[in-house]
A and B are shown apart, each in its own frame.
Chain A
Amino acid sequence: MIDWLTPRASSFAGDIDWLFALILGFVGFWFVVAEVVLFSFLFKFRRRRNARARYVTGTLKTEKRWISVPHVLIILCDVVIIAATLSVWAAVKQSFPPAQEKVRIVAQQWAWTFVHPGPDGALDTADDVTTIDELHVKTDTTYHFELTAKDVLHSFSVPAFRLKQDAVPGRVITGWFKPTTPGQYDVQCAEICGIGHGLMPARITVETKEQHDQWLRRAAAPAGGLVATGPGGTPWR
């Protein structure tokens, strides 16, 4: 359902869309039932020639069944939704597939700093490539990211990946994503972080391995490469 509105570009995006559709099904059904019952009562029992209303206490067994039966059915629906949610949540936020690549993301007041591992594939080495508001990733590669913030709360949100994780200053939060379809996607800050909250968009470029290596070489070359430590260094490790 959501993929009509936002492209699906990561491995677990499908799971979240499926769960959204499942909940929409259950919830939509009960919503329609309740509204239809409500409006039918309104229409059927509108006042006609001062007809007397009935005296219904709602304490008799037969009357209460009209409430407890839908009540039990809703509990069953909730149990199914809970089970599905917990399984998707475990896949997205709790148990990660092994990392093929690691990146570090640092949010600060009004910019994103991405630290790519560079050609040697390891972080915190001399050849790391640090970029501002521009993350380059390879398709079909499992990335683990270390997310932190320098000053206030931010939130690393990539709608196309169905990914969102708040960046809390003083904490390093790890998450994962696995891009599937090449292209350029928006990164938004989803937690209010002051004046520039709406002015810190970043782009994720999902490219094939060759394009990525080519970009790395161009970015890692001393002439074109940015300073390895990025602006002002980060007080967190």
Chain B
Amino acid sequence: MALTVDAEHTVPARRRGAPASHDGHRGAPAAHGGHHGPTSFWSTYVFSTDHKVIGLQYMFTGMVMALIGGFMAYAFRMQLAFPDQPVPGFGLVTPNVYNSLVTNHGAIMIFWVAMPMLIAGFGNFLIPLMIGCDDMVFPRLNRLSYQLFFVSAIVLLASFVVPGGGFGGAWTSYPPLSSSGTFNHTPWGAPLWLAAVAIEFIAFLLGGINFITTAMNARAPGMRMWDIPMVVWMIVIASILFMASAGPLIAGAIMLLLDQVAGTHFFTPAAGGDPLLWQHLFWFFGHPEVYVVLLPAMGIVAEVITVHARKKLFAYKTILYTTAGTAAFSFVVWAHHQFVAGIDPRMANLFTITTLLISIPIGEMLFCYIATLWGGSIEFKTSMLFGVAFLAEFLLGGVTGIFLGASAVDVYLHDTYFVVAHFHYTFVPIAIIAVFAGIYHWYPKMFGRLMDETLGKIHFWGTIIGFNTIFLPLFVTGAAGDHRRIYSYQHFQQLATDGLQSLRVVATVGMLIMLLAQTAFIVNFVRSLVRGAPAAANPWRANTLEWAAPSPPPHGNFAEMPTVYRGPYEYSVPGRTEDYWPQNVPA
């Protein structure tokens, strides 16, 4: 008796014993979306397998970790601006405390803020909705990946309170400093930090499999390859990139953990190990990692600017091919982080060439985004402001990468604040500006309420002015020779000048402005939950499928599964009265 599957309406009535989904639970005869068991607070919000709830869990955890990471930035920026004076709300920042603040600021912002918000938060919430299905393919695997992620956050926070304090060997944790307590003086902090990162990797491997398989297989009927919205493409390619690049570092993390805990000598040169091996394994992961967080941000910006400019995305296929090109290219550029780290100078030549050439596809993607704005009818909602600010700020981030990609200039600029300013001009647009664009854009869909526009604009200008005030001066101090992770520049006579110190004070003031602006966002976020204007299903009059579901979408998303008739970006089609044409509306 073959399986009768009628994708249109309800889930087929299942016969006992028919092969059900992957997760090993019995083929429950309950019709989908119908009667559930008793739903308590715990099963609805904490142990839920609904992709939307899990997406929001990732987002809230990411926001909390962003506050912690931001507080660390506040502490060490105050120490840099007013050296050796107790920081209000934190206390005295001694050298080892400074090192662990800097290390964990980097690790938290990349692993526990950027990746969860961009890949897991938006990925979980948007992918099933945007490809028109009811949930992720493996709901319980999805829940397990969040739980592992939550455990990794707890383990990381635990690493701050163990004897010796948090690990202070930079987020790259280069051995031999990271591989033995005698060198890093955090015998408990270092293994715990590494264990937290390893658990977080496992969580994102599991989550990644869910995203890739759902996007590949569970597309709505009628949705061809070119009808998939760009943000879904980007999150899937990012998950593949993460999975392919994290492998060697997981092997490396096992070796480093054994070095730290068991006392083996994988990376101890005295006994045959090699410290450069870890650097290579780390950066083989490290560089694809920055594209893992860049691509979802580009996808979010693509959705936001097409909706609010009412314009079709310029050259959808070109963007897709250049994304695939960038993803493939990102595997052969990693040693530009190690030009002066002792690798063979001949290899540096190869990596200089590949690094400069990877700026071509990224440049083309940005040009296509800017070309999308041509001939548009742009309405500056807060999400559009953030979307456009991403393009403007990321241009400077990408452009300053050329200085560091050129090996000879990197001899001078390596590990200076020029590098710090460069990667903040790429990471902040990715992990903060694009995420705010996504939150302001999809908040109505997530919570069924509209966010306040004036508070949003205050938050926008505060964030942008603050951000630029921090990192433009740091380009200059970096070019002057300020090196990274140095807790006080008073000991270096060439750097202890008043001019450079005033630039550091300006940067700290910029950071304070940026932190204050976030209060506008928190107030706006919380207040709109209850007092925001109720949002219709499609407040921005957009085309993609998630706007066909009610706001907030119930469990099971769509009353009836949508069928796709056209691409996601058919805006302002000549000859139509309305300037948008949702994917699921028959011709």
A and B in contact, CB less than 8 Å:
yes
**B-binding residues in A (CB < 8 A):** 1-2, 5-6, 15-16, 19-20, 23-24, 26-28, 30-31, 34-35, 37-39, 41-42, 45-48, 50-59, 63-64, 66-67, 70-71, 74-75, 78, 81-82, 84-86, 88-89, 92-94, 109, 151-153, 155, 157, 159-160, 162-166, 168-171, 173, 184-186, 188-199, 201, 203, 235
| Sampled A-B contacts (10; CB under 8 Å) | A19-B406, A19-B408, A55-B574, A56-B312, A84-B408, A88-B408, A153-B177, A155-B340, A188-B483, A198-B487
Q: In the complex, given contacts A71-B364, A186-B493, what are 9 additional A-B residue pairs having Cβ atoms less than 8 angstroms apart?
A: A6-B481, A42-B373, A47-B377, A47-B379, A53-B311, A54-B374, A56-B314, A58-B313, A193-B177
Q: What distance in Å separates the Cβ of A64 from its nearest Cβ neighbour in chain B?
A: 7
B538 within 8 A of A: no
Tell me which of A70, A162, A201 contacts B491 (CB under 8 A).
A201
B321 within 8 A of A: no
User: B408 touching A15 by the CB < 8 A rule?
Assistant: yes
User: B378 touching A47 by the CB < 8 A rule?
Assistant: yes
Complex Cα spacing A209 to B375, Å: 69
User: A54 touching B375 by the CB < 8 A rule?
Assistant: yes
User: B480 touching A38 by the CB < 8 A rule?
Assistant: no
User: B380 touching A46 by the CB < 8 A rule?
Assistant: yes
Complex Cα spacing A81 to B573, Å: 43
Q: Which of B392-427 contact A (CB under 8 A)?
A: 392, 395-396, 399-400, 402-403, 406-409, 411-412, 414-416
Chain A residue, CB-CB nearest to B575: A55
**A-binding residues in B (CB < 8 A):** 95-96, 98-99, 168-170, 174, 176-177, 183-185, 269-270, 274-276, 309-318, 340-342, 345-346, 348-349, 352-353, 356-357, 359-360, 363-364, 366-368, 370-380, 388, 391-392, 395-396, 399-400, 402-403, 406-409, 411-412, 414-416, 476, 479-481, 483-488, 491-495, 571-574, 579
| A152-B371 contact in complex given A20-B403, A94-B345, A192-B170, C-beta closer than 8 Å | no
Complex Cα spacing A62 to B208, Å: 39
Chain B residue, CB-CB nearest to A16: B412
Chain A residue, CB-CB nearest to B574: A55
Tell me which of A109, A155, A162, A170 contacts B415 (CB under 8 A).
A155
Closest 9 CB pairs of A and B: A170-B269, A58-B315, A159-B481, A54-B375, A88-B408, A58-B314, A5-B480, A198-B486, A85-B406
Q: Which chain A positions have C-beta within 8 A of B573?
A: 55
User: A54 touching B275 by the CB < 8 A rule?
Assistant: no
User: B491 touching A198 by the CB < 8 A rule?
Assistant: yes
User: A185 touching B494 by the CB < 8 A rule?
Assistant: yes
User: A19 touching B409 by the CB < 8 A rule?
Assistant: yes
Complex Cα spacing A203 to B275, Å: 28
Most buried by B among A2, A81, A92, A166: A166
Q: Which chain A positions have C-beta within 8 A of B314?
A: 56-58, 63, 67
Complex Cα spacing A46 to B346, Å: 51
Complex Cα spacing A151 to B182, Å: 10
Q: Which chain A positions have C-beta within 8 A of B378?
A: 42, 45-47
Most buried by B among A34, A66, A92, A203: A34
Chain A residue, CB-CB nearest to B398: A31
Q: Which chain A positions have C-beta within 8 A of B494?
A: 6, 159-160, 185-186
| A163-B485 contact in complex given A5-B480, A52-B377, A53-B375, C-beta closer than 8 Å | no
User: B370 touching A34 by the CB < 8 A rule?
Assistant: yes
Complex Cα spacing A163 to B411, Å: 6
Q: Which chain B positions have C-beta within 8 A of A46?
A: 378-380
| A162-B352 contact in complex given A45-B376, A54-B572, A89-B407, C-beta closer than 8 Å | no
Q: What distance in Å separates the Cβ of B358 from its nearest Cβ neighbour in chain A?
A: 10
Q: Which chain B positions have C-beta within 8 A of A31?
A: 395-396, 399
Q: Which chain B positions have C-beta within 8 A of A173?
A: 342
Tell me which of A5, A27, A86, A194 contacts B402 (CB under 8 A).
A27
Q: What distance in Å separates the Cβ of B483 from its nearest Cβ neighbour in chain A?
A: 5
User: A53 touching B571 by the CB < 8 A rule?
Assistant: yes
User: A109 touching B375 by the CB < 8 A rule?
Assistant: no
Chain B residue, CB-CB nearest to A71: B364
Q: Which chain A positions have C-beta within 8 A of B399?
A: 27-28, 30-31
User: A67 touching B352 by the CB < 8 A rule?
Assistant: no
Q: Which chain A positions have C-beta within 8 A of B340?
A: 155, 164-166, 190
Q: What distance in Å separates the Cβ of B576 from its nearest Cβ neighbour in chain A?
A: 10
User: A169 touching B488 by the CB < 8 A rule?
Assistant: no
Chain B residue, CB-CB nearest to A167: B342
User: B395 touching A153 by the CB < 8 A rule?
Assistant: no
Q: Which chain A positions have C-beta within 8 A of B487?
A: 198
Q: Which chain A positions have C-beta within 8 A of B169?
A: 192, 194
User: B412 touching A64 by the CB < 8 A rule?
Assistant: no
Q: Which chain B positions have C-beta within 8 A of A50?
A: 377
Q: What distance in Å separates the Cβ of A23 from its nearest Cβ neighbour in chain B?
A: 6
Q: What distance in Å separates the Cβ of A120 from its nearest Cβ neighbour in chain B?
A: 31
